[in-house]
Amino acid sequence: MREDGPALPLKPFVVDMAAHNVTPIVPLASSLQGLRPNGVTDLPASIALGTISKLLFDSNTDLEIGERQPTILILDDLDINRRLLRAMLKTASYKVLEAKRASDALTMLEREQVDLLILDLMMPEMSGLEFCHKVKSNRTTHFTPILMISSVQGIENEIAGISSGADEFLTKPLHPDVVRTRVRAMLRNKAAIDSLEEAETILFALAQAVEKRDKYTGDHCDRMTRYSVALGSALGLPKHQLVALHRGGFMHDIGKVCVPDAILFKKGPLTEEEWVVMRSHTTKGEDICRPMKTLAPVLPIIRNHHERWDGSGYPDGLKGEDIPLLARILQIADIYDALTTARPYKPALSIEEALQILEDEVRRGWRDPELVPLFSQCIQKTERPGPDLDPKDWSKAQTFQQSLENMRRELMK
């Protein structure tokens, strides 16, 4: 895909979410079709990047949810309190749900897309503090704003409410205008968060669609993510860095959306000009994800996962510990998975052969000499042991594998 000369031929690229087993995103998934429309044989990188940026970050796109009727859930054991709040909210077009018990409210949260929770501090079944903590601890409701109300005076109650997860705190008697103003502000913030969350989800879907274009690498990201998080965990990295590794495993090659199929799937060796295009996927991927502030920790992974320890890698020629740690971790997992899976040009190598190649690359000065031995230990603990392994050790390996899966689920909370 060269903008300074004739375009390279390639097949049209249309993101078919169903064909690639990618969960559809409504209403924006169909907009991804515009990246390479039917009949267009090539798409300059600048246009691809512009299309993605406009889709995700243009304020005039469908990302705005202001036209959707916001849903507010009122949780209070007293009927009169719920009726009073409903009356205050009648001036705007809200869908108002009511719950008398905390258990009923939790059920509604599972079934409905709630944009705002209004609840009382004191409730019989479960206190407002306990309920807040429960909602904010759940990954699916973590960003649901909560307005806590109390008839008990005292700053200590407000501190306790905010500490438990409430976003705003009001003390009775309630002033209708104050309640309506707080509600509007909280819904406005929720709409902004939803837009960012949806934009990030689309980027992940796009990255998955790009990866699943190749049947040989369709599950590559999932395996590589497990390997890199396992290595990061062995290093004792904090949770936010493990989350970055998890995201980076899926996002690291998103820039390949800008690489023509004629280069991406070429069976023979690439020419020097084609290598220039292929190597650009690192910087193009960074350009695609940079507008998302939540992906800032992932950008060094996307840009620098092809650097080498001796400085002979790309795109920046970084050397040694100047290469970001997370990029060094992910590149080892990336290489290992590529070696141990079959590709059109090679069979799958055994675990021992793959680890030996990594050790050889350490001696050649390409890989981190401290990370590769630790990675080998992780792999030997998580991969299925041979038939002559002691059953006790196999049991330990199974337990460790399950632990990794539990950690993966925990990272998603």
Neighbours of 272 (CB within 10 A): 6
What does the block give as tokens for 332?
A: 């080892």
Buried b (16+ CB within 10 A) or exposed e, 91-116: eeebebbbbbebeebbebbeeeebbb
Domains and CATH numbers, the chain: 71-177 (3.40.50.2300), 219-252+305-411 (1.10.3210.10)
Query: 110 Cβ partners below 8 Å, 6+ apart?
Result: none
SS3 content of the chain, % helix, strand, coil (to 5): 55, 5, 40
Beta-ladder partners of 180: none
d(CA 151, CA 71): 25
Residue spans of alpha helices (H) in 142-280: 155-164, 176-211, 220-234, 239-251, 261-264, 272-279
CA geometry: angle 280, 241, 413, nearest 5 deg: 110
Over the chain, what is the mean pLDDT? 79
The predicted model gives 318-326 an average pLDDT of 97
How many CA atoms are closer than 13 Å to the CA of 81, on its beta-carbon side?
20
Q: Mean of the pLDDT values across residues 9-32?
A: 35
Quick one: 253 exposed, middle or buried, by C-beta within 10 A (0-12, 13-18, 19+)? buried
- CB neighbourhood size of 256 (10 A): 22
Task: Determine which of 29-38, 194-203, 250-259, 379-388 has the lowest per-residue pLDDT on average.
Answer: 29-38
pLDDT at 61 > cutoff 60:
no
Share of the chain above pLDDT 90, in %: 53
The mean pLDDT of 85-110, rounded to a whole number, is 94
Q: Are the C-beta atoms of 299 and 286 separated by less than 8 Å?
A: yes
- The residue ranking higher by pLDDT, 261 or 280, is 280
Give the CB-side neighbour count of residue 381, counting CA atoms within 13 A: 18
Query: Could you tell me whether strands 146-150 and 95-99 are parallel, antiparallel, or unpaired per DSSP bridges?
Result: unpaired
- Token pair, residue 244, equals 């970055």
In this predicted structure, what is the pLDDT of residue 90? 93
d(Cα 77, Cα 75) in Å, to the nearest integer?
7
What confidence tens digit (pLDDT) does each residue in 64-75 have?
444 578 999 999
Give the pLDDT mean for 184-204: 83
Question: Tens digit of pLDDT for each residue in 323-348?
Answer: 999 999 999 999 999 899 887 667 88
Q: Is the pLDDT of residue 359 over 90?
A: yes
Range 350-365 average pLDDT: 95
Which amino acid, one-letter code, is at 193?
A: I
- Range list of β-strands (E), 304-373: none
Query: Which stretches of 28-77 are DSSP H helices?
Result: 45-57
pLDDT of residue 17: 34
Nearest C-alpha neighbor of 208 from the set 257, 267, 244: 257
Burial class (CB in 10 A: 0-12, 13-18, 19+), 358: buried
How far apart are alpha carbons 32 and 201 in whole angstroms?
12
CA angle (333 as vertex; 219, 381 as ends), nearest 5: 95
- Kindly give, in sequence order, each residue whose CB lies less than 8 Å from that of residue 80, ignoring residues fewer than 6 positions away: none
Instruction: Determine the average pLDDT of the residues in 115-144.
Output: 91
DSSP 8-state symbol, 26: T
pLDDT category of residue 386 using cuts at 50, 70 and 90 = very low
Sequence letter at residue 99: A
Task: Rank 10-24, 89-103, 378-392 by mean pLDDT and report only the highest.
Answer: 89-103
- In this prediction, residue 275 carries a pLDDT of 94
Whether residue 283 contacts residue 303, with contact meaning beta carbons closer than 8 Å, is answered with yes
Greater confidence (137 vs 53) lies with 137
Q: How far is CA 250 from CA 212, 247, 375, in A?
A: 11, 5, 20
Question: Tokens in use for 344?
Answer: 């059109």
Quote the pTM value. Answer: 0.61
